[in-house]
């Protein structure tokens, strides 16, 4: 992924130098190639770093057996959020709710780190934040369901 990103970045720079903006699309093709190259480089670097650095939430999500279908997990999200906000969910720390709220506000607000009028780059940060938000909610909903089932088993004994 990193190699492909580098190739796209170099191709965008070469096209910009060779055409000088006089091509049929103007500067759209070189900017698109450079943006795609930078995006691929960043994604490849993050993926490579993530393989080497154990993240606490990812490790915790993989230790527990997968619980619940995607629909069941989606239905569990509101009760998970309410129980965490009230302090009844020992699996999920409260600061995670704050992170989710910040991500949601960032997605909804018109103010971005990278403006949306830039081709490919502007929407890329929104896609990244949205993907993190959804995957984090999905993983934590599975952990919440697993903890709830364990509590039911303990109560039944």
Q: What is the pLDDT of residue 137?
A: 93
The pLDDT value recorded for residue 82 is: 93
Q: Is the pTM of this model over 0.75?
A: no
Segment-wise mean pLDDT, segments of 10 residues, the chain, 157 residues: 79 79 66 78 77 61 64 92 89 88 88 70 80 91 87 76
CB 94 within 8 A of CB 85: yes
Look at residue 26 in the predicted model and tell me its pLDDT: 66
Q: What's the pLDDT score for residue 42? A: 80
Q: What is the four-CA torsion angle of 124, 130, 135, 138, rounded to 10 degrees? A: -160
- CA-CA distance, 10 to 5, in Å (whole number)? 9
Cα separation, 138 vs 73, in Å, equals 7
Instruction: Give the per-residue SS3 of 129-148.
Output: HHHHHHHHHHHHHHHHHHHH
């Amino acid at each position: 992924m990193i190699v492909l990103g580098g190739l796209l970045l170099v191709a965008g720079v070469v096209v910009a130098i060779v055409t000088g903006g006089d091509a049929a699309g103007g500067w759209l093709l070189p900017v698109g190639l450079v943006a795609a190259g930078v995006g691929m480089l960043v994604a490849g670097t993050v993926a490579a770093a993530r393989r080497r650095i154990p993240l606490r939430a990812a490790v915790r999500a993989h230790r527990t057996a997968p619980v619940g279908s995607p629909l069941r997990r989606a239905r569990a999200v509101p009760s998970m959020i309410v129980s965490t906000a009230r302090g009844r969910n020992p699996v999920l720390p409260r600061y995670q709710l704050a992170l989710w709220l910040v991500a949601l506000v960032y997605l909804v607000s018109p103010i971005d780190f990278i403006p949306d009028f830039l081709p490919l780059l502007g929407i890329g940060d929104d896609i990244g934040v949205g993907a993190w938000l959804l995957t984090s909610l999905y993983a934590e909903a599975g952990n919440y369901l697993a903890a709830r089932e364990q509590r039911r088993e303990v109560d039944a004994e």
